[in-house]
Every structure is written in structure tokens, then in C-alpha cells.
């Protein structure tokens, strides 16, 4: 599956970065996932409706069965 997400360099105030980093750690998310979550929440507060994010599979892929 191709990753169609966009990469974007972001310049951010160090104090704001530290706050996002603390929130991400408290919610057991990566900083990237936390920023995405915060953006979705902010857009929802403004009435912007988005499709639910595509859940990415986690962990190792299942083992292939041998054709014996």
C-alpha cells in the first residue's frame, strides 16, 4: 500500500513544540499523530467535516503459509 500522506516541514515555537510533545506522551501517540489529531479537532470545532482517517495496520505482517 502506497503512503499518500503529505510531508510538510513545519517551523514551530519551541514552547509550543514542548507542549505538543507532552500531550503526545500523555496520550501514547507520536508527535506526528498528535499534531494530526489536534488539527482534526480544530477543524471539527470550526465545522469542517472530514472522513475518518484510514487505520494503518500495526506490527508484523502475518506469516505466509507454506504450500507443502
pLDDT one-digit tens code per residue, 13-43: 999 999 999 999 999 999 999 999 999 999 9
Does residue 37 lie in a domain region? yes
Reduce the secondary structure of 39-67 to three states and give it as a string.
HHHHHHHCCCCCCCCCCCCCCCCCCCCCC
Does residue 64 lie in a domain region? no
Does residue 36 lie in a domain region? yes
Does residue 26 lie in a domain region? yes
Does residue 4 lie in a domain region? no
Does residue 34 lie in a domain region? yes
**pTM for the complete prediction?**
0.70
Q: Domain range for residue 19?
A: 14-45
As for how many domains the chain has, the answer is: 1
Q: Is the pLDDT of residue 68 over 80?
A: no
For 30, residues 6+ apart whose C-beta sits below 8 A from its C-beta are 24
Does residue 1 lie in a domain region? no
Amino acid at each position: 500500500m502506497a503512503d499518500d500522506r503529505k510531508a510538510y516541514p513545519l517551523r514551530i515555537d519551541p514552547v509550543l513544540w514542548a507542549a505538543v510533545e507532552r500531550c503526545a506522551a500523555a496520550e501514547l501517540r507520536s508527535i506526528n499523530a498528535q499534531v494530526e489529531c489536534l488539527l482534526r479537532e480544530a477543524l471539527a470545532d470550526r465545522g469542517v467535516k472530514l472522513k475518518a482517517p484510514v487505520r494503518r495496520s500495526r506490527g508484523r505482517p502475518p506469516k505466509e503459509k507454506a504450500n507443502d
